[in-house]
Amino acid sequence: MSSNFHVFSTTRFAFSRKIEKGVACPTCISVNNVVCHFSPLDNDESVLKGDILKKATHIDGFISSVAHTHVLQEGPITGRAEDVIAAANTAAEVALRLVRPGKKVINCN
């Protein structure tokens, strides 16, 4: 990690006062094919029917990019979309069960 990036990221999100309650900051909203770490512009409030939204946030300085996925549509999700979401959820559950304190990522198999 470059020192410029570290300085930017630590000063950009530093707060002069402690935030007790409310919207966690920073908050990340990713739409459709964007994977993570994207926040829409203040004036961009558009989402369309069928869009997929992923939300993630920092809580007390800890990243919570395990995100929640929301599909904007009426009724239940079916077909291939349902299969993909179920497969991603299963993969995440399996990966989380492999993680242990002191274990290296390359040894999580």
Please tell me the distance from the alpha carbon of residue 55 to that of residue 67, in angstroms, as a whole number.
Answer: 5
pLDDT number for residue 65: 60
User: How does DSSP classify residue 28?
Assistant: E
Q: What pLDDT is stored for residue 92 in this prediction?
A: 82
Q: What is the pLDDT of residue 6?
A: 46
pLDDT, residue 62, reads: 67
pLDDT of res. 79: 92
| CA 20 to chain CA mean position, Å | 22
pLDDT at 61: 66
Regarding pTM above 0.75, the answer is: no
User: 3-state SS of 33-56?
Assistant: CCCCCCCCCCCCCCCCCCCEEEEE
What is d(CA 94, CA 85) in angstroms, rounded to the nearest whole number? 14
Quick one: pLDDT at residue 29?
Answer: 76
- Give pLDDT < 50 ranges for the chain: 1-3, 5-10
